[in-house]
Structure 1
Amino acid sequence: MTWNLPNPFLNKWQVSPEQIDHYQHANNVAYVSQLELTSWAHSKHLGLTIEQYQALDRGMAITRHEINYLAAAHVNEVIDCATWIVQCDNKLKLARQFQFIRRSDQQTLLTARTEFVCIALSTGKPKRMPKEFADIYGPAAQIQTSQPLPYQ
C-alpha cells in the first residue's frame, strides 16, 4: 500500500449492507463514523482509554473536519483506515490525518484531517491537556510544536 505518511495506525472496516445509501455505495455518515472509530482505536493503542479521559475530566473535541471523498466504497469491501497524529502542541490542540485504502485494488477512497481541542468534560470548555495526554499524544505526533497550530 502507498500511504501518504509513514507508519500508519490501521483499523479494518468491512462495509456492511446497513452502511449503503441510495446510490449503492457507503454513505458519507459511515465514513465519518470510521474516522471516529479509527481515532479511538489509535488512542486506545497508544494507551489512552475513555475511562482515563473521564477520570481526568478531559477530552479531545473535534473543532474541524476536512474530508476528501475520492472514490466510492461498496458493500462487503474491506477498507484499511489509516490515521496519524500529525501535530500536537502539548497544550491544547492536536490534529490527525487519515487515509482510507480499499484492499482489493489499493485505491485511496478518502483522505481527511481532523483538528481537536482539549476540553474539560464537565464543562465543555477548553482546558490545557493533562500531562498524560501530552506524554502520549506529543511523542506520537509527526510534527512537534509549541507554536499555535495553523487552523484556518
Structure 2
Amino acid sequence: MDTPAYPAYRFTRLITVQPEDIDELNHANNVRYVQWVQDTAGAHWHAAAPAAVQAQYVWVVREHHIRYLHPALLGDELRCITWVSSMEGVTSHRHVRIERARDGKLLCEAETHWILLQPDTMRPQRIPAEMARWVQEPV
C-alpha cells in the first residue's frame, strides 16, 4: 500500500471509535467526524504552541469541507493526521485525514479555514509570523 506524502510538520493522534460514536446505520456518525477534525486541530495547537501564550489566542472555524469516503466501525482505531498548509492575514488553512490505523485506509478527509481572534474583543487579529513556525514544525 502506498503511503501518501505528508509534510514534515504534520501532527498525528490516535482515537478509537466508541459506542456513542455509532449511529442507526451501525457506523460512526458523520457529526462525529466533524468533532474529530476539530479535536485534532485543537490537539495540534496545544502540542505546538507554547503553553505560556495559548491563552492569548482564540481560534474559530470559518468553514469545513469534508469528504466521507468509507465508514468507521465500533472499535476501529483511527489515525487522525493534520497539518497547516498556509497562514495568511487572519486565516489558517488546515488539512485533516482520518485513516483506519490497521490498514491505512482513508475514511475521511477535510479542509478547514480557521480565523484567529483576540480573546478580549473576539475580533479577528493578524496571525503573528512566529505562529507559523509553531504549527509547521514537527511536534
Report if the CA contact (8 A) 2:63-2:113 is conserved: yes
Name the residue aligned to 2:48: 46
Report if the CA contact (8 A) 2:49-2:134 is conserved: no
**2:23 partner SS:** coil
Number of equivalent positions: 135
Q: Separation in 1 of the partners of 2:34 and 2:21? A: 11
> Is 2:132 the partner of 1:137?
yes
Deviation (angstroms), 1:52: 3.2
> Mean alpha-carbon deviation: is it higher for 30-39 or for 65-74?
30-39
Identify the structure with bigger relative contact order (alpha carbons < 8 Å, sequence gap 6+): 2
Report if the CA contact (8 A) 1:13-1:80 is conserved: yes
| Structure 1 residues 35 and 48: alpha-carbon distance in aligned structure 2, compared to 1, 3 A threshold | farther
| Structure 1 residues 43 and 15: alpha-carbon distance in aligned structure 2, compared to 1, 3 A threshold | same
TM-score of the aligned structures, taking structure 1 as reference length: 0.78
Q: 1:10-30 CA distances to partner (integer Å, 9 max, x unpaired)?
A: 010100011100000001121
**1:5 partner SS:** coil
Q: 1:35 aligns with which of 30, 33, 37?
A: 37
Q: 1:76-134 CA distances to partner (integer Å, 9 max, x unpaired)?
A: 00010000001112x311110011110222210011000011112233322223x4xx3
Identity value in percent: 27
> Is 2:111 the partner of 1:113?
yes
Equivalent residue letter for 1:6: P
> Is 2:13 the partner of 1:14?
no
Name the residue aligned to 2:80: 81
Equivalent residue letter for 1:18: E
TM-score of the aligned structures, taking structure 2 as reference length: 0.85
Q: Separation in 1 of the partners of 2:13 and 2:134? A: 21
| Structure 1 residues 47 and 140: alpha-carbon distance in aligned structure 2, compared to 1, 3 A threshold | closer
Name the residue aligned to 1:24: 26
Equivalent residue letter for 2:120: S
Q: Separation in 2 of the partners of 1:88 and 1:138? A: 10
Unmatched runs of 5 consecutive residues or more in structure 2: none
Unmatched runs of 5 consecutive residues or more in structure 1: 143-152
